[in-house]
């Protein structure tokens, strides 16, 4: 579904050029869950912003469904670490923001959202405002909003990074349910090795800035995954070795 070839990006910091991405190549097949891991500040969010069309690469090529494009704007749903819920809108009103902006049938959108609120454990909170919801509940609303965009490719930028471990585990189940039932394709940024292995089909490990692909790790384990399973432990140790190697180099 998505292929990036030779993506380069630099920025100016304090008036001096700073290279962020250096000839990065990446592929995400339709129906895949692919994670990006890498040192803090290596350019993971910059890469998602390029795919989403928020910024342009300095060079390189982007292919979506086999066709070269300048970006995937209009074809992706982008969920960030901050839930970005509008404080003056109720949870349900936030969830249907995408269909509303597209001029879709709001009655149908509300009906779909109400069904998802029930499935995501949010029934009864439709008329609550964001300030009245916990962090995990707000992220569930943001996930419903992402799903209601109707896009097939999700870009998720550390969406659970600020949550405690128990809440994050619950959100993992909801996300995998969306991924499997609705047949979505996901490009997921995380700094958590275990999270990447629990969720992903494949994990790209990026180098320190300027980012290149250091390693690509296949995760051929059935879901749901058991952290204590020997194959999971071996993969985690291998990924940790690669991460530590890169941190030592950086």
CATH number at 239 reads 3.40.50.300
Residues 6+ apart with CB under 8 A from 188: 33, 34, 35, 36, 156, 196, 199, 200
**Residue 80 counted as domain residue:** no
Mark whether 146 and 164 lie in a shared domain. Answer: no
How does pLDDT run across 164-217, given as a tens digit for each residue?
A: 888 889 889 989 988 888 889 999 999 899 999 999 999 999 998 889 999 999
Domain of 95? 86-150
pLDDT band, residue 88 (cuts 50/70/90) = very high
Mark whether 71 and 187 lie in a shared domain. Answer: yes
Rg value, the chain, Cα? 18
How does pLDDT run across 48-59, given as a tens digit for each residue?
A: 999 999 999 999
**Pick from 42, 53, 57: which is nearest to 212 by CA?**
42
Per-residue pLDDT, 85: 94
Per-residue pLDDT, 47: 94
pLDDT band, residue 13 (cuts 50/70/90) = confident
Mark whether 60 and 114 lie in a shared domain. Answer: no
Percent of the chain with pLDDT over 70: 99
Mark whether 91 and 142 lie in a shared domain. Answer: yes
Mark whether 102 and 176 lie in a shared domain. Answer: no
pTM of the entire predicted model: 0.92
């Amino acid at each position: 579904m998505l292929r990036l070839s030779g993506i380069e990006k630099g920025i100016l910091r304090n008036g001096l050029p700073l290279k962020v991405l250096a000839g990065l190549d990446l592929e995400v097949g339709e129906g895949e869950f692919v994670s990006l891991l890498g040192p803090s500040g290596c350019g993971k969010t910059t890469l998602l912003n390029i795919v989403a069309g928020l910024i342009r690469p300095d060079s390189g090529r982007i292919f979506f469904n086999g066709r070269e494009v300048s970006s995937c704007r209009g074809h992706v749903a982008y969920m960030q670490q901050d839930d970005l819920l509008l404080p003056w809108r109720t949870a349900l009103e936030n969830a249907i923001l995408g269909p509303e902006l597209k001029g879709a049938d709001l009655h149908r959108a509300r009906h779909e959202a109400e069904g998802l609120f029930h499935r995501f454990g949010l029934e009864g909170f439709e008329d609550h405002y964001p300030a009245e919801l916990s962090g995990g509940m707000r992220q569930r609303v943001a996930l419903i909003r992402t799903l209601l965009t109707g896009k097939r490719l999700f870009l998720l930028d550390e969406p659970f990074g600020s949550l405690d471990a128990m809440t994050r585990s619950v959100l993992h189940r909801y996300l995998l349910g969306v991924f499997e039932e609705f047949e979505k394709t996901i490009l997921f940024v995380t700094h958590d090795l275990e999270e990447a292995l629990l969720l992903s089909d494949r994990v790209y490990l990026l180098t320190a800035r300027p980012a290149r692909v250091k390693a690509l790790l296949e995760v051929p384990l059935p879901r749901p995954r058991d952290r204590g399973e020997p194959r999971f432990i071996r993969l985690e140790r291998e990924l940790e070795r690669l991460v530590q190697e890169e941190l030592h180099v950086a």
